[in-house]
Structure 1
């Protein structure tokens, strides 16, 4: 629903009070709210301030009685004559702006992944330079505010698994690499490797690729050929770095030499190759597939740890868990009071106490007014992580800011 500015007044965010009916907010430009309504708590106001909101539009007639409004003057501030120009500051983007940008990056990535699959299917060459600009945008987004990006990438569709998996592997590799303080150019090459890492599946029989049941031993052997096909495909790609090539061809290798396609051993696998194995398995475990429901992050972590030290690098698995957090941004959790929400903002200092965007109550079996709970400063605790498939309602609309 769009709101007419003439029916609302603009006030500074620091004069907003509980009970006022907000119709729109502004950081650097006008933004219409998806869920306009009365301000429920002081915490909600603090969250707006934290997100860089400067002004709010409020409807006086729908606000609680007794609200005191202090409208902003429409007259621009006049600089005194001869005053030195103010220094140019790089404004930190609000969560809304970051999430909007993240959505664009994810859309572009899916488009690129689809284009690569189409080119491969048609026997055309892949051009790495098409991925360069997107990889730079992805890295910038992760370096500035990875929370917004991970919240967007948490939205999954079973029908788009192959595209989303490629995008998520690329995103997670960049975040993981950032956590390990790897050089920016390495992050870029890992992103490119991530986006093309499953390109060989375009040559796998669709009946095997989309089979809604466990594969037979013969079908699994056929599925494993996607790595052989990938090797053949990327051998024709000019400009592909060794790092990107390793990410693409090593994500099914195992430290004990029992992986495929080459049966590499630990001594033959560089750090970025080992990282790709961890990230690929984690994203596959947490996604809905044609034959299974995705599991929670906590369940996936247990499986990753169970695969160490013979298949996966134990030290890197622990670092990966520390990187994305015990409760990753975009994950669903249930609080001790029965409320369910999305992990909205990470807390590096105390990973067990992130900020949660609550929207549903399992106690009362109904949707509730959206509220943001900073677990670090709350009496409630996180009771458990929830797999999206096990939640009785659809959380998708609440991933928007």
Structure 2
């Protein structure tokens, strides 16, 4: 390296400050640069040890040719854009958390009042539905990520809110009118309202239900009909979602045993969404299933129980690896599917936080699979890994 080399590319560092990945171009001798024959990035700590043994105290490092993690590189426009996108995502995710929290608070209040025999007021749910639609239209990924956070104890609340959100997302995908999205959201939030009158010992039983207990569980639809009949201003579409999400195309569902054309589009959608969210939730009697495994079950229920074309549409809408789900990458890292908007299903941005190889949490890293040689190996569930991903959402 000559003295005339651009000093803007080089930085003088003491050997004690060298780290792996730094590109050593020359050694320093009385403030003069002496080129080294084997210039290059430091791959092993032994190289640093050898420099110390030879009495070298300072070296010249080429910032441009050093590895990115060394911190010498200025942020490119792309990096800056990525940073802004991340900040926007964090803001939208905060808004999504607020909406979901408000939804659960409202539903908790209504469940309590319904248990006391009070009629449901639809107006607060209309405002909530509008907020939910706005959030989906603005950034569905943010709401998907937040809704992936679940707890066993709050299942009824979270399931109801998630069903509403999934119905809005699915309806948007099918290009339904905004007024329909609103009515579907309200129906989704209230779809399990009848369970407030079900015996808690049966509702939360950790083991398999007896035939008598299952018949008792099915009564939640009868109770829902009674509650809805006292609710003024609830649209027919919202009522249908409350009363049709357990119907089957072959007529073997309940409470009315409706068949095929008797179940409208929104009713068929609610059947799919209700099952999917239940399968991917942790319950007192089962662990959460990965979305990929849940999709297989949905497909197995076609065409006699679920509408086959709608199931395919739902899978395309949610994505093979839905935002908020956990995946294992080909290098053994586990991460959360973070962003999928505008991407093909197999190449989302993944927020990695755990190593299967090391069996430990690692430094968080965003991996853009469109710009990486890595690929998704499989979808995983938290229970199968015995880890808690919640701090990383």
TM-score of Structure 1 vs Structure 2, range by shorter chain: 0.7 to 0.9
Is 1:260 the equivalent of 2:254?
A: yes
Between Structure 1 and Structure 2, whose CA radius of gyration is higher?
2
* Residue 66 of structure 2: aligned partner: none
Structure 2 residue runs of 5 or longer lacking an equivalent are 1-20, 23-68
Confirm or deny: 8 A CA contact 1:347 1:355 kept in the other structure: no
Distance 1:105 1:44 in 2: 35
* Residue 67 of structure 1: aligned partner: none
Per-residue deviation at 1:50? 2.8
Residue by residue, what CA displacement relative to the aligned partner does 1:172-231 show, whole Å, maximum 9, x if unpaired? 000000000000010000000000000000111111001001101110011000001001
Residue by residue, what CA displacement relative to the aligned partner does 1:346-396 show, whole Å, maximum 9, x if unpaired? 144411111100011111122111111111221111001011211232111
Distance 2:73 2:339 in 1: 18
Is 1:159 the equivalent of 2:191?
A: no
Confirm or deny: 8 A CA contact 2:111 2:196 kept in the other structure: yes
Per-residue deviation at 1:53? 6.1
Secondary structure of 1:322's match? Answer: helix
Secondary structure of 1:195's match? Answer: helix
Distance 1:41 1:224 in 2: 62
Distance 1:181 1:324 in 2: 15
Distance 1:235 1:387 in 2: 40
Distance 2:72 2:164 in 1: 38
Secondary structure of 2:154's match? Answer: helix
Secondary structure of 2:153's match? Answer: helix
* Residue 101 of structure 1: aligned partner: 95
Residue by residue, what CA displacement relative to the aligned partner does 1:267-288 show, whole Å, maximum 9, x if unpaired? 1011000000000000000000
Q: Report the aligned-residue RMSD.
A: 2.2
Secondary structure of 2:285's match? Answer: coil
Residue among 372, 377, 381 paired with 2:371:
377
Secondary structure of 1:52's match? Answer: helix
Which runs of structure 2 are paired with 1:178-327 in the superposition (5 Å)?
A: 178-327=172-321
Distance 1:395 1:286 in 2: 15
TM-score (norm 2): 0.80
TM-score (norm 1): 0.78
Is 1:340 the equivalent of 2:372?
A: no
Distance 1:53 1:182, change over 3 A: closer
* Residue 57 of structure 2: aligned partner: none
Distance 1:294 1:311, change over 3 A: same
Identify the structure with bigger relative contact order (alpha carbons < 8 Å, sequence gap 6+): 1
* Residue 169 of structure 1: aligned partner: 163
Distance 2:341 2:165 in 1: 19
Confirm or deny: 8 A CA contact 1:47 1:372 kept in the other structure: no
Structure 1 residue runs of 5 or longer lacking an equivalent are 1-17, 20-36, 55-92
Secondary structure of 1:287's match? Answer: coil
Secondary structure of 1:248's match? Answer: helix
Per-residue deviation at 1:239? 0.3
Per-residue deviation at 1:39? 6.8
Is 1:49 the equivalent of 2:81?
A: yes
Distance 1:134 1:152, change over 3 A: same
Q: How many residues were matched structurally?
A: 327
Per-residue deviation at 1:157? 0.1
Residue by residue, what CA displacement relative to the aligned partner does 1:97-150 show, whole Å, maximum 9, x if unpaired? 100100000000101111111111010010000111111110000001000001
Distance 1:44 1:333, change over 3 A: farther
Distance 1:235 1:40, change over 3 A: farther
